[in-house]
Chain A
Amino acid sequence: MKDLMRIKSLISQDIETLLNQQIKKEAHSSSLYLSMSSWCDQNGFDFSADYFAKQSEEERLHQLKLFKYVLDMGGNAISPEVTGIKTEFLGFREVFEDALEAEIAITQSFKNIYARCQKEQDFVTMEFLNWFLKEQREEEYKARRALELFEVIGEEGTGRWEIDKHVNKISYSEQ
Chain B
Amino acid sequence: MEKACVDINELINVFSNTQGSVYQSDKLNCFYVDFGGKFARYNCISLQKLKKVIEDIDIEALLLNTNRADFELVTFNGCEHIYLLSALEIVAFKDLLQGTFTMFKLNHMVNDCLNRLVY
Question: Is B79 close to A, CB under 8 A?
Answer: no
Question: Is A151 close to B, CB under 8 A?
Answer: no
Bound complex: CA of A151 vs CA of B64, how far in Å?
56
| Chain B positions within 8 Å of A2 at CB level | 24, 26, 29
| Chain A positions within 8 Å of B24 at CB level | 1-2, 4
B97 CB to closest chain A CB, in angstroms?
Answer: 12
Of A4, A9, A76, which one neighbours B29 at CB under 8 angstroms?
A4
| Chain A positions within 8 Å of B29 at CB level | 2, 4, 7
Question: Is B48 close to A, CB under 8 A?
Answer: yes
- CB pair A5 B104 closer than 8 Å: yes
Question: Is A81 close to B, CB under 8 A?
Answer: no
Bound complex: CA of A76 vs CA of B78, how far in Å?
14
| Chain B positions within 8 Å of A12 at CB level | 108
B95 CB to closest chain A CB, in angstroms?
Answer: 18
B114 — nearest CB in chain A belongs to which residue? Answer: A3
Which has the most chain A C-beta neighbours within 10 Å: B26, B44, B111? B44
Name the interface residues of A1-56: CB closer than 8 Å to any CB of B.
1-9, 12-13
| Chain A positions within 8 Å of B30 at CB level | 4
B106 CB to closest chain A CB, in angstroms?
Answer: 10
- CB pair A8 B45 closer than 8 Å: yes
If A8-B44, A76-B45, A76-B48 touch, whether A1 touches B26 (CB-CB below 8 Å) is yes
- CB pair B108 A6 closer than 8 Å: yes
A55 CB to closest chain B CB, in angstroms?
Answer: 33
Which bucket holds chain A's interface residue count?
A: 10 to 19
- CB pair A5 B44 closer than 8 Å: yes
Bound complex: CA of A7 vs CA of B26, how far in Å?
12
If A8-B44, A76-B45, A76-B48 touch, whether A3 touches B101 (CB-CB below 8 Å) is no
Bound complex: CA of A115 vs CA of B116, how far in Å?
22
| Chain B positions within 8 Å of A6 at CB level | 108, 111
Bound complex: CA of A108 vs CA of B18, how far in Å?
43
A31 CB to closest chain B CB, in angstroms?
Answer: 25
Bound complex: CA of A49 vs CA of B118, how far in Å?
58
B44 CB to closest chain A CB, in angstroms?
Answer: 4
Q: A1-B12, A9-B44 are in contact. List 14 more A-B contacts (CB 8 A).
A: A2-B24, A3-B107, A4-B24, A4-B30, A4-B104, A5-B44, A5-B104, A6-B111, A7-B44, A8-B44, A8-B45, A12-B108, A76-B45, A76-B48
**B positions within 8 Å CB-CB of A:** 12, 14, 24, 26, 29-31, 44-45, 48, 101, 104, 107-108, 111
**A positions within 8 Å CB-CB of B:** 1-9, 12-13, 76
- Shortest 6 CB-CB distances between A and B: which pairs? A8-B44, A3-B111, A2-B26, A1-B12, A5-B104, A3-B108
